[in-house]
Amino acid sequence: MTNEETKKDFIREMVAKDLAEGYCSVPITRFPPEPNGYLHIGHAKAICLDFGLAQEYAHLGAVCHLRFDDTNPCKEDIEFVNSIQEDIRWLGFDWGEHLYWASNIFDFYYDCAVHLIKNGLAYVDEQDRETMRLQRGDLRTPGTHSPYRDRSVEENLAQFAAMKEGKFAEGAAVLRAKIDMASSNMNMRDPVIYRISYDHHHNTGNKWCIYPMYDFAHPLEDAWEHITHSLCTLEFENHRPLYEWVIDNCPVPAKPKQREFSRLNITYTVMSKRKLRQMVEEGYVAGWDDPRMPTICGMRRRGYPARAIVDFCEGVGITKFNGNTDVARLENAVRGELNTNAERRMAVLKPLKLVLTNVPADFEEEVEVIINPEKPELGNRKVTLTREVWIDRDDFMVDPPKKYKRLSPGACVRLRGGYCMICTGYEADAEGNVTEVRAEIIPGTIGANPPEGIKCKGAIHWVSAKYGVKAEVRLYDRLFKDEAPDANPEGFLASLNQDSLTVITDAVVEPALAAAPNEFLCQFERTGYFVADRYDHSAEHPVFNRAVGLRDSWAKMNK
């Protein structure tokens, strides 16, 4: 558990109170994804709350269940099931033995429905959908009773059995809870709780042709698993009376309660699974784990540490107010985490050859780069300096402005970890593009200042031309150029940032970086934070993804 202060919210206060007052002795929560897509950062917020609570009360034996909410007939997509489990584990959470499938208890939902019928609390309605919709009324007008509402218990039992036996066509009959057609809460106006579908179900095949609706099944799943606190997002708030009605009127083994908190929304991002799927299927991104996607696997591939995602979710906090969180907060969490823990390395993204003309052709010297004397794990190391090195094109200018702190003819700059050197000349092609820079090192300046009268302007990073390794570097930027893509009148796709990916194929990295394991995270000094691509990186073909820049470049642009 990290910061107790940031973890005080109304849900946690409620759980503490429920324990003190004896509503429960051990909190049991659940995270109930529908296996129809990959998890995104919004899910991460729910995961941090559901699993986080269980961790906080682990001493009491608290657990958080992972429940696949698969009551809709469809083909199981094993890809989604596996990715959801992998992502939750990667975030640092564990359901232990508590993995559940909502489709495993179809018998229980069915028995509960029969129980309702026997108690005069549910009826089979054989009207068409449109008629039922018109009878619902609206916020100002009470609904009208269906002519089937007062069927006898026997008739309802027979018709519900007929539904189950496949005697009705899809849509020809539904089971409705008999609650209150005049309720001010539209969800209580005799909601449908069972419908007919002849689609194949991945778990039960064609055994069932009637399926419970979400509002009926969810409370029953919770009760079946003895969940104490069923936490969900605010749009379910006005479904809560129905949730409680189901719990109160069905033969349930436990009495869970539902509480709601605000969804996470992030600027410059779309979060709905439907839209994310559309981007994947229509090829706007390379897949669910494209590093620009707000999916957990996308962020992982981008180089966002799990810790940063959890910190971000905890920082946003649990409230009742739907807001739009600035994506810069997430990027800052990533930057903060990487600044503290990522090793430093050198890489040159736009290579320009620099020749040290006053050393022999076979010159080689091990120089030591000290990142932090107290934290050697941040990448204090030896690198080999050779006569020819690569520096970044942006670190040399023929005719620089006054405050330029890098290399230009006559200027003195230090090669990071090595000597101070003075630029003595350069070569350019017919168009005036600089093709090579020359400099002379000043002996005795490793770790020391140049002699009196020469001012060393700063240090630039470099990679030995002899030992450096060519690498592919993928520079990712925000996927959307507008703050609220969902609000674009031309549709969210019109907000796509056409420059969200730049691929550099001729970068040069320190030799050790080629040998780095996949997912190795580091700072390229003076450049940004990078990760060795989870899939494409290899010693033969190093590939690095930019997680985030050193500074928030969007904030600068907006000013």
Active-site amino acid positions: 34, 263, 273
Q: Which of 11, 15, 24, 32 binds ligand ATP (CB under 6 A)?
A: 32
Q: What span, in angstroms and rounded, lies between the C-alpha atoms of 130 and 139?
A: 18
CB 388 within 8 A of CB 420: no
Region binding ligand ATP by CB under 6 A among candidate stretches 59-67, 246-254, 267-275, 338-346: 267-275
User: Interface with ligand ATP includes 46 (CB under 6 A)?
Assistant: yes
Residue in 30, 37, 25 with CA at minimum distance from that of residue 93: 30
- Specify the DSSP element, H or E, that contains 504: strand 501-509
Region binding ligand ATP by CB under 6 A among candidate stretches 167-175, 271-279, 389-397, 399-407: 271-279
- Specify the DSSP element, H or E, that contains 430: none
Amino acid at 385: L
Indicate the residue among 34 and 326 with the shorter CB distance to ligand ATP. Answer: 34
Q: Which of 42, 73, 291, 351 binds ligand ATP (CB under 6 A)?
A: 42
DSSP string covering 162-229: HHHTT-S-TTS-EEEE---TT-SSGGGSS-EEEEE--S-BTTTBTS-SEEE-HHHHHHHHHHHTT-SE
Region binding ligand ATP by CB under 6 A among candidate stretches 73-81, 156-164, 270-278, 370-378: 270-278
Q: What span, in angstroms and rounded, lies between the C-alpha atoms of 17 and 13?
A: 6
Closest contact distance (angstroms) between CB of 45 and ligand ATP is 4
Residue in 391, 388, 390 with CA at minimum distance from that of residue 363: 388
- Site for ligand ATP, residues 301 to 340, rule: CB under 6 A: none
Structure tokens given for 20: 């003190």
Closest contact distance (angstroms) between CB of 49 and ligand ATP is 8
Closest contact distance (angstroms) between CB of 96 and ligand ATP is 19
Indicate the residue among 201 and 273 with the shorter CB distance to ligand ATP. Answer: 273
Region binding ligand ATP by CB under 6 A among candidate stretches 37-45, 114-122, 168-176, 501-509: 37-45
Pairing of strands 28-31, 63-68: parallel
CA 384, chain centre distance (Å): 39
User: Interface with ligand ATP includes 34 (CB under 6 A)?
Assistant: yes
Pairing of strands 528-532, 463-464: unpaired
List CB contacts of 237: < 8 A, sequence separation 6 or more.
Answer: 260
Residue in 198, 179, 196 with CA at minimum distance from that of residue 187: 179
Indicate the residue among 145 and 320 with the shorter CB distance to ligand ATP. Answer: 320
Indicate the residue among 232 and 509 with the shorter CB distance to ligand ATP. Answer: 232
Q: Which of 2, 272, 340, 553 binds ligand ATP (CB under 6 A)?
A: 272
Binding string, residues 417-456; x marks residues near ligand ATP by CB under 6 A = ----------------------------------------
User: Interface with ligand ATP includes 273 (CB under 6 A)?
Assistant: yes
Indicate the residue among 271 and 397 with the shorter CB distance to ligand ATP. Answer: 271
Indicate the residue among 30 and 474 with the shorter CB distance to ligand ATP. Answer: 30
Closest contact distance (angstroms) between CB of 34 and ligand ATP is 4
Region binding ligand ATP by CB under 6 A among candidate stretches 147-155, 264-272, 383-391, 534-542: 264-272
Structure tokens given for 249: 């009127």
User: Interface with ligand ATP includes 292 (CB under 6 A)?
Assistant: no
Region binding ligand ATP by CB under 6 A among candidate stretches 39-47, 51-59, 302-310, 386-394: 39-47
Mapped to the 3 state alphabet, what secondary structure does 354-420 carry? EEECCCCCCCEEEEEECCCCCCHHHCCEEEEEECEEEEEHHHECCCCCCCCCCECCCCEEEECCCCE
The single residue listed with the structure tokens 């090195």 is: 389
Indicate the residue among 84 and 175 with the shorter CB distance to ligand ATP. Answer: 84
Region binding ligand ATP by CB under 6 A among candidate stretches 41-49, 107-115, 245-253, 522-530: 41-49
Q: Which of 226, 263, 350, 393 binds ligand ATP (CB under 6 A)?
A: 263
Residue in 333, 371, 298 with CA at minimum distance from that of residue 523: 371
Indicate the residue among 46 and 306 with the shorter CB distance to ligand ATP. Answer: 46
Indicate the residue among 47 and 423 with the shorter CB distance to ligand ATP. Answer: 47
Structure tokens given for 394: 């942006």
CB 249 within 8 A of CB 121: yes
Q: What span, in angstroms and rounded, lies between the C-alpha atoms of 336 and 310?
A: 13
User: Interface with ligand ATP includes 264 (CB under 6 A)?
Assistant: yes
Binding string, residues 206-245; x marks residues near ligand ATP by CB under 6 A = --------------------------xx------------
Mapped to the 3 state alphabet, what secondary structure does 84-121 carry? HHHHHHHHCCCCCCCEEEHHHHHHHHHHHHHHHHHCCC
Q: How many residues bind ligand ATP (CB under 6 A)?
A: 14
* Residue ranges that bind ligand ATP, judged by CB under 6 A: 32-34, 42-43, 45-46, 232-233, 263-264, 271-273
